[in-house]
Structure 1
Amino acid sequence: MSYLPPPTKLLLLALGLVAGHPRVGWAQGTTTSPPSVPATPELKPALKAGPKSKLAQPPDSVALNDYLRKAAALQLKFKDSEALAAYESALKLNQQHYGSLWHAAVLSVSIGNRYSDETRKSAYFAAAHQYAGRALALQPEAGESNYAMALALFSQAGLLSARDRLRIFKQLRTHVFLAAERRPDMPEAWQLLGRWYYRVAHYNVLEKVFSRVVLGGYPQGASSKKAMEAMEKARQLDPMRIQYCYDLARMYKYQGHRRRAITVLQEAIKLPTYTSEDLTVNRLCQQLLPPLVRAASRRDRLHARWYERMPATNKPDARE
């Protein structure tokens, strides 16, 4: 092990002991009848070629197209496990099918998020990382492959130590920006960019110092304003997704925009719920709303009292 000066050792020790700066909590559902943990997909020798190599693309077969249609139909019915199995069957016929790879990565994260057990989570997230890596090897500049990789890394970061989490958040920057840039019509990409902006903008002192000393600097350009703008963009693209409303309302709350948070939450609890995850987020929205309404009401009463005590000549109406 290379020599580290005492200040750096103390910094590393501190980061190993603290859990990291509190951040916006992203709701995750659970499932009572879990599917089997996926085996980590192997990288075939042909897929280890550089991004610019021309990988042979075998023609799509009738069976492959059948699997793709089946997977798309299952996704529309929110049957993620069955859809993932269909994409995996398609990949057995064509290991380099780009659409199947990035969809498999996204579905693996979705399924993994339903577990409270970190071992199962880690297995699904690792599989997602492998699928996303193979998609990136095929199309390194595409929005879908970069979104899939960003999602896999973001999910894995939650299971890592503070030091490793900071490394991943620095690595994430390229992927989240490319995803939103190349697929501006994809609300999921804007949601992930908003989450990344918000997390990086709220690095605590230890995280900033560690990033500067050990990682050579922390990601620049992040802010709460940009985070809320990105999340608003996601909500505009898909106003029926309750998760976007919840994320945005939480950001508004922590930035002191109570009225905006209340408006978003009131709209969110009226949205239809299709999955157990939607129901969970709906309950979280209902729990978050009453304290904000009470706080806003207290503020209005204080303003009313202050206005009543003002001299008549200083009141806005009198000046007009």
Structure 2
Amino acid sequence: MSRLSLPAKSVLLAVGLAAGHPRAGWAQGTTTSPPSLPALPEAISPAPGAKAGPRAGASAAPDSVALREYLRRAAALQAKFKDSEALAAYEAALRVQPQHYGSLWRAAVLSVSIGNRYSDETRKSAYFAAANQYASRALEVQPQAGESNYAMALALFSQAGLLSARDRLRIFKQLRPHVFLAAERRPDMPEAWQLLGRWYYRVAHYNVLEKFFSRVFLGGYPQGASSKKAMEAMEKAHELDPTRIQYSYDLARMYKYQGYRRRAIAVLQQAIKLPTYTSEDLTINRLCQQLLPPLVRATSRRDRLHARWYEQLRSREKPAARE
């Protein structure tokens, strides 16, 4: 058999990547948690640790009645799960103070949350691109902060779902430092742990072609990811906020894929009892209800098989004991 030329290999690799990984859509399919609600009213001054200099000085604009009103309105709208109106309020606040850190990273996260609701990829792409821009501006103000890095990681992660396989691999490598810094700087932020868990799981399940492409064309694929780390990160998110049904659903599916059926069942049984505040919550609740019965049946079958095997073992041991 003649050896394939490099162009031929590249064509085959592209075809293989386009075919996708059997669980490639797992990370993209899970929902993203809404941002944590801000305090009322949100502080106007820069976050602690901001760099001194012209940029930090520009961020510390004088307090204004208009700015405080926009921030108060945005927080109130978020509390009512009115994301589009809240985003508009943050955008209004940014027109007053373009480098207001809290408004920038929250606008990025809200843009992703709104974009995820559209089935039209054009609209999705527009919102995700806007999220990337807001996150980039937040990083300029606070490059080492947890919130700005979470916003950038989330924007990149969301954009990856609309890209080709090779571009998606590039994005997953690019967002690595952001998602790690988010969890490190804001260990109290459950959405950062959720995103880290999803990143761990997706990278841990790169197939052979994805690993080969990453090594040859991207200088290597991200190291250190594993299913165990993914579950630990998702468990952390669930521990920090057990009322978020998104965390329960993601964690249950990880348990299921790794063979921990009883853990998955316990998480799902609690999840279906959680209150649903939004249409997204209701959708995930239904998905939890669909996921639970097959797991219960599979566990029951396994228990019956184990009980039968145990009885057979005991019946064999009794004659031997009499002898």
After TM superposition, is the score higher than 0.5?
yes
Q: Does 1:239 align with 2:242?
A: yes
* 8 Å contact from structure 2 (residues 200, 225) kept in 1: yes
* Whole-angstrom CA distance in 1 between matches of 2:314 and 2:93: 76
* Whole-angstrom CA distance in 1 between matches of 2:317 and 2:176: 51
Please state how far the C-alpha of 1:54 moved relative to its aligned partner. Answer: 3.4
Aligned to 2:148: 145
* 8 Å contact from structure 1 (residues 20, 162) kept in 2: no
* Whole-angstrom CA distance in 1 between matches of 2:191 and 2:207: 27
Q: Does 1:79 align with 2:90?
A: no
* Whole-angstrom CA distance in 1 between matches of 2:162 and 2:17: 13
* Whole-angstrom CA distance in 1 between matches of 2:203 and 2:197: 10
Q: Does 1:93 align with 2:133?
A: no
* Whole-angstrom CA distance in 2 between matches of 1:314 and 1:215: 60
* 8 Å contact from structure 1 (residues 11, 210) kept in 2: no
Q: Does 1:22 align with 2:20?
A: no
SS of equivalent to 2:152:
helix
Given the alignment, which residue of 299, 305, 309 partners 1:302? 305
* Whole-angstrom CA distance in 1 between matches of 2:30 and 2:154: 15
Q: Where in structure 2 are there 5+ consecutive unaligned residues?
A: 33-50
Q: Which runs of 4+ in 1 moved over 6 A?
A: none
Deviations 1:80-104 (A, max 9, x none): 0010000000000011101000000
Percentage of identical aligned residues: 78
Aligned AA (2:224): G
Q: How well do the aligned residues superpose, as a CA RMSD in angstroms?
A: 1.9
* Whole-angstrom CA distance in 1 between matches of 2:17 and 2:257: 26
Please state how far the C-alpha of 1:312 moved relative to its aligned partner. Answer: 5.5
Distance 1:314 1:249, change over 3 A: farther
Q: Does 1:199 align with 2:199?
A: no
Please state how far the C-alpha of 1:5 moved relative to its aligned partner. Answer: 2.9
TM-score, normalized by length of structure 1?
A: 0.87
Please state how far the C-alpha of 1:305 moved relative to its aligned partner. Answer: 0.4
Aligned to 2:284: 281
* Whole-angstrom CA distance in 1 between matches of 2:164 and 2:171: 11
Deviations 1:190-221 (A, max 9, x none): 00000000000000110000000000100000
Q: Where in structure 1 are there 5+ consecutive unaligned residues?
A: 30-50
Q: How does 1:59-78 map to 2 (within 5 A)?
A: 59-78=62-81
* Whole-angstrom CA distance in 2 between matches of 1:7 and 1:107: 43
Aligned AA (1:22): R
Please state how far the C-alpha of 1:182 moved relative to its aligned partner. Answer: 0.2
Please state how far the C-alpha of 1:7 moved relative to its aligned partner. Answer: 5.9
Given the alignment, which residue of 163, 166, 170 partners 1:167? 170
Given the alignment, which residue of 253, 259, 262 partners 1:259? 262
Q: Does 1:291 align with 2:294?
A: yes
Aligned to 1:187: 190
Aligned to 1:122: 125
SS of equivalent to 2:54:
coil
* Whole-angstrom CA distance in 2 between matches of 1:292 and 1:304: 18
Aligned to 2:54: 54
TM-score, normalized by length of structure 2?
A: 0.86
Aligned to 1:46: none
